[in-house]
Amino acid sequence: MKRETRLIHSGRPQGDQGLVNAAVERASTVLAPTTAELYQPTPPRRHYARGGLSPNAELREALCGLYGADHCALASSGLAAVVLAMRTALDGAGEALISDSVYGPVRRFCDEELPRLGVSVRYYDPRIGADIAALITPDTRLIALESPGSLTMEVQDIPAIAAAARAAGAKTVIDDTWSAGMLMNPLELGVDFAAQSLTKYVGGHSDFLAGAVLARGADAGRLKSRESLYGQHVSPDDGFLALRGLRTLSLRLERSGASALTLAKRLENHKKIARVLHPALPGNPDHAIFQRDFSGAAGCFSVILDGVGARDGEAVAERLTLFGLGFSWGGYESLVLPCDRQIRRTATPWRAEGCLIRFSIGLEDVDDLWADLQSALA
């Protein structure tokens, strides 16, 4: 089946009740009829809700179907999912190579927490590709990717980096939130652990926080064990919202992606815009890799305002009326975020002609959004 069909038919409730949607089971304790069943290592039913009742079980099944994974771990947020993936991938002390374009809160975890675990951190140019082999040492345990980068939109050569890591015995983790598992499957490209923020495109309505990590084979077994060890849990209500969002993911992603590409092309020709950072544009330096690995584009991209400083760029964002000023992306509403305050680079300097602004395009009419952008830029 195609992915769109699997999203509709996977993770459906079992039984003869005829329910289309999984029922929300709210409980902490689930009683067992006997002590023997209570202590079975693989019980026919769960007796404590942290392991996941319905609809979390159906959500795991649906996401595993989307990625072709053997286990889906659920976490309380996208950040928690990436952290869980990294902790699962790391096997003792050593070194982690982290993309220089990584999400800011993940960078903070790498800088503050990994050294406490005996893991040194080095950042690498996200466009390094196969040349990452030159950075790998016998101590390298983890290589972390994010493609595209959540602010500056660099697309990484995932197969080349994954192959270099595998040859050296290092594990790979990717933040796959931009593609949501629909536009690209990093597990198929050789990555060991694929994490994403379900808060964004899967949720689609900006009303809950959750994350997921997917893996195959022995990595899936390790992931399942670590998920239990760290007590990760998503509420049944949030699990229901995530599962419901999955059913319409392909349509929403297609609409926001098409609108974003339309606006990106128009902004390319705007005199106030120095550069549009969108990998689906033919002039983008990562376009060839994007075409090879992705089946389509999401609705999140960035622009650089020509000769405009950070404060004036923020004023442009504040003049928008249809774009909400806020963090996150992937919801039905369009958002704008001035990014200069967030950019942190150590492997490669960030150079731009002006202020960096990121847009998340929602489901509004594209011409209304364009009129709003023209007015703010004027």
Q: Which of 3, 12, 50, 244 is catalytic?
A: 50
Longest dimension (CA), the chain: 73
pLDDT attached to residue 365:
98
Q: Which of 211, 226, 247 is the last residue of a domain?
A: 247
pLDDT attached to residue 30:
86
- Claim to verify: residue 9 and residue 138 sit in the same structural domain: yes
pLDDT attached to residue 94:
97
- Claim to verify: residue 51 and residue 159 sit in the same structural domain: yes
What's the whole-number mean pLDDT along residues 86-111?
96
- Claim to verify: residue 135 and residue 219 sit in the same structural domain: yes
CATH number at residue 233: 3.40.640.10
- Claim to verify: residue 231 and residue 158 sit in the same structural domain: yes
Q: Of 280, 302, 277, 278, give the one whose Cα is nearest residue 291.
A: 280
Give the C-alpha separation, 132 to 149, whole Å: 17
85 φψ region: left (φ > 0), alpha (ψ -120 to 50), beta (else):
alpha
Q: Which of 188, 212, 247 is the last residue of a domain?
A: 247
pLDDT attached to residue 148:
98
pLDDT band at 23 (very low <50, low <70, confident <90, very high): confident
- Claim to verify: residue 209 and residue 315 sit in the same structural domain: no
What's the whole-number mean pLDDT along residues 266-271?
97
Q: What is the pTM of this model?
A: 0.95
pLDDT attached to residue 44:
67
Annotated catalytic residue 50:
yes
pLDDT attached to residue 18:
76
What's the whole-number mean pLDDT along residues 47-64?
89
Structure confidence by residue, pLDDT tens digits, 206-248: 999 999 999 999 999 999 999 999 999 999 999 999 999 999 9
- Claim to verify: residue 22 and residue 42 sit in the same structural domain: yes
Q: Which of 100, 157, 175, 238 is catalytic?
A: 175
- Claim to verify: residue 134 and residue 221 sit in the same structural domain: yes
Domain count for the chain = 2
Token pair for residue 328?
């996150």
Average model confidence (pLDDT) for the chain?
Answer: 95
- Claim to verify: residue 235 and residue 253 sit in the same structural domain: no
pLDDT band at 19 (very low <50, low <70, confident <90, very high): confident
Q: Which of 67, 87, 100, 103 is catalytic?
A: 103
What's the whole-number mean pLDDT along residues 4-16?
80
What's the whole-number mean pLDDT along residues 121-139?
98
- Claim to verify: residue 191 and residue 258 sit in the same structural domain: no
Annotated catalytic residue 271:
no
Q: Which of 223, 247, 271 is the last residue of a domain?
A: 247
Q: In residues, how long is the chain? A: 378
Is residue 99 classed as helix, strand or coil in its secondary structure?
strand
Annotated catalytic residue 224:
no
Cis peptide, bond prior to residue 148, ω within 30 of zero:
yes
Q: Of 197, 205, 214, give the one whose Cα is nearest residue 245.
A: 205
Residue 46 scores a pLDDT above 80: no
Q: Which of 127, 171, 200, 222 is catalytic?
A: 200
Q: Which residue has the tokens 């040194």?
A: 120
Structure confidence by residue, pLDDT tens digits, 327-373: 999 999 999 999 999 999 999 999 999 999 999 999 999 999 999 99
Distances (CA, A) of 23 to 5, 19, 59: 21, 8, 12
Q: What percent of the chain lies above the pLDDT cut of 90?
A: 84
Residue 296 scores a pLDDT above 70: yes
Task: Please check whether residue 195 is in contact with residue 85, taking contact to mean a CB–CB distance below 8 angstroms.
Answer: yes
- Claim to verify: residue 259 and residue 225 sit in the same structural domain: no
pLDDT attached to residue 9:
86
- Claim to verify: residue 344 and residue 199 sit in the same structural domain: no
What's the whole-number mean pLDDT along residues 60-79?
97
Q: Which of 20-34, 140-154, 179-193 shows the lowest mean pLDDT across its residues? A: 20-34
pLDDT attached to residue 15:
66
Domain extent, residue 139, equals: 3-247
CATH number at residue 328: 3.90.1150.10
Q: Which residues, at least 6 apart from 113, have a Cβ–Cβ distance to it below 8 Å?
A: none
- Claim to verify: residue 75 and residue 196 sit in the same structural domain: yes
Positive or negative, the CA dihedral 230, 66, 237, 245 is positive
pLDDT attached to residue 14:
73
